[in-house]
């Protein structure tokens, strides 16, 4: 068995990603994005999951900072999309399990 040691920067990112996915609300956001298979408007996600704008914003920021989602702004609207590459590198098969 070979043990691969990662550098601190990689470890820090993995910790952020695990913490982001450890929250039930953020896991619901990820699941919703997987089911829709497209980007969604932040307000639409908040409405579907019955969250306040401030709560939704907090969860979107956490997922974005962990590198698990990207956000695109058009005018005053923001659209969230999964960063599928990050999931494939970090947790292969995770998205398919949702």
- Domains by residue range for the chain, with CATH: 23-97 (1.10.10.10)
Kindly write down the DSSP assignment for every residue of the chain, as one continuous string: --PPPPPHHHHHHHHHHHHHHTSHHHHHHHHHHHHHTS-EEHHHHHHHTT--HHHHHHHHHHHHHTTSEEEEEETTEEEEEE-HHHHHHHSTTHHHH-
pLDDT tens-place string over residues 43-82: 999 999 999 989 999 999 999 999 999 999 999 999 999 9
- Residue partners of 64: CB distance under 8 A and separation at least 6: 70, 71, 80
Residue 9 has pLDDT above 80, yes or no: no
pTM: 0.86
């Amino acid at each position: 068995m070979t043990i691969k040691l990662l550098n601190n920067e990689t470890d820090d990112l993995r910790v952020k990603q695990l913490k982001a996915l450890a929250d039930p609300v953020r896991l619901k956001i990820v699941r919703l994005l997987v089911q829709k298979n497209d980007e969604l408007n932040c307000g639409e996600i908040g409405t579907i999951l019955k969250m306040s704008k401030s709560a939704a914003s907090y969860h979107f920021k956490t997922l974005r900072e962990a590198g698990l989602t990207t956000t695109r702004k058009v005018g005053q609207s923001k659209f969230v999309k999964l960063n599928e590459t990050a999931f494939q590198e970090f947790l292969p098969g995770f998205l398919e399990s949702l």
